[in-house]
């Protein structure tokens, strides 16, 4: 068993979103810690889903289903946080979660009870998947352009293609913005947005755009998600929130609040609104936080932190017992 030590600094907590899932996530925690096994059992009982099989065996096609992905990510992030909290005296000063990760951040801050969060994100995944018929929506990463250039790009694509909507979905880091909307608008963009088009329409100083279509099941974080937003309003208005024990910087405006009604409204608006991740990370940096733990599988947020903050931010990932011991060594005096 890993032993704890004294705290030498305050930490920021990062909770990953959809795209960080992988078969096998959380297995090392389940094998080593009773707390992890208890939470997996609690999640299985709450949602009547075999999360051990889903997370550890897959198949990947089942884990990638949005209604499964979202509670699975919440579960693994919560397990990771609870285990770390149990075995070492780490102090979290503030947190942020990317999209669905915001729910895990609120659970960690004791603003939202774990079973309530599980039920909410299962409904969220179902509502988001049902909001747009398969094939009618798409998402695409735009690399190499600034935020304002991407916003203008979306507006011009809609005007020139006659297809809508196309909107910025995730401001992930400087020069990396994901856009979301009509599959026809995304296809027109892929066919027509060349280096010459960018120079002519956005200006020579805009840079060169690289477009990477994303394999997603729905066009998240755009106005096509309004039906899901309406469904989630019903769910979240029936969900109890408490004031968080530490600030949770929320996606929709990159700000934190102690007002539980405002927390709820921001979660609702997040579904069709942009994820302001660059701004969320900057908020944490502005609070003087430079050490972070990514509570969950993968290293997506670690990579984004490096792009946003460079050497100013150091992120510990937790994908193995070796990672867990390395974090313990950093927490010790």
CB atoms near residue 234 (< 10 Å): 12
For residue 142, give Cα distances in angstroms to 145, 169, 208.
7, 11, 10
Based on the residue annotation, tell me whether 221 is a catalytic residue of this protein. yes
Rounded to an integer, what distance in angstroms lies between the CA atom of residue 219 and that of residue 172? 16
Are residues 64 and 217 in contact, defined by beta-carbon separation less than 8 angstroms? yes
Residue among 161, 168, 169, 154 nearest 202 (CA): 154
Which residue in the list 20, 99, 256, 316 is annotated as catalytic?
A: 99
At CB < 8 A and 24+ separation, what contacts does 131-137 make? 131/218, 131/224, 131/225, 131/226, 131/227, 131/228, 132/218, 132/219, 132/224, 132/225, 134/217, 135/183, 136/182, 136/183, 137/180, 137/181, 137/182, 137/183, 137/218, 137/219, 137/222, 137/224
For residue 38, give Cα distances in angstroms to 52, 83, 129, 184.
11, 11, 29, 46
CB atoms near residue 312 (< 10 Å): 11
At CB < 8 A and 24+ separation, what contacts does 259-264 make? 260/111, 263/106, 263/111, 264/236, 264/237, 264/239
Based on the residue annotation, tell me whether 180 is a catalytic residue of this protein. no
Which residue in the list 81, 98, 221, 290 is annotated as catalytic?
A: 221
Q: Which residues are catalytic?
A: 99, 221
């Amino acid at each position: 068993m890993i032993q704890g030590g004294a705290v030498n600094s305050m930490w920021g907590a990062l909770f990953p979103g959809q795209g960080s899932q992988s078969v096998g996530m959380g297995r090392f925690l389940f094998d080593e810690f009773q707390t992890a096994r208890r939470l997996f059992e609690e999640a299985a009982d709450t949602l009547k889903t075999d999360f051990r099989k889903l997370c550890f065996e897959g198949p990947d096609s089942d884990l990638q289903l949005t209604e499964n992905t979202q509670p699975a990510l919440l579960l693994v992030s919560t397990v990771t946080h609870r285990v770390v909290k149990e075995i070492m005296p780490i102090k979290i000063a503030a947190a942020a979660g990317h999209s669905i990760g915001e729910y895990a951040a609120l659970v960690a801050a004791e603003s939202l009870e774990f079973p309530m969060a599980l039920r909410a994100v299962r409904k969220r995944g179902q509502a988001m998947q049902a909001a747009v018929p398969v094939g009618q929506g798409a998402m695409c990463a735009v690399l190499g352009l600034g935020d304002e250039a991407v916003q203008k790009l979306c507006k011009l694509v809609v005007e020139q293609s006659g297809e809508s909507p196309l909107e910025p979905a995730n401001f992930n880091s400087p020069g990396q913005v994901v856009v979301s909307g009509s599959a026809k608008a995304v296809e027109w963009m892929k066919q027509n947005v060349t280096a010459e088009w960018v120079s002519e329409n956005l200006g020579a100083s805009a840079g060169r755009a690289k477009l990477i279509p994303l394999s997603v099941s729905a066009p998240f974080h755009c106005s096509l998600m309004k039906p899901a937003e309406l469904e989630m309003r019903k769910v979240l208005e029936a969900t109890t929130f408490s004031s968080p024990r530490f600030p949770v910087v929320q996606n929709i405006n990159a700000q934190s609040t102690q007002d539980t009604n405002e927390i709820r409204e921001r979660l609702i608006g997040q579904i069709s609104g942009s994820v302001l991740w660059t701004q969320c990370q900057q908020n944490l940096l502005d609070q003087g936080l430079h050490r972070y733990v990514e509570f969950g599988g993968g290293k997506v947020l670690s990579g984004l932190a490096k792009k946003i903050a460079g050497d100013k931010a150091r992120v510990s990932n937790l994908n193995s017992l070796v990672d867990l011991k390395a974090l313990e060594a950093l927490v010790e005096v």
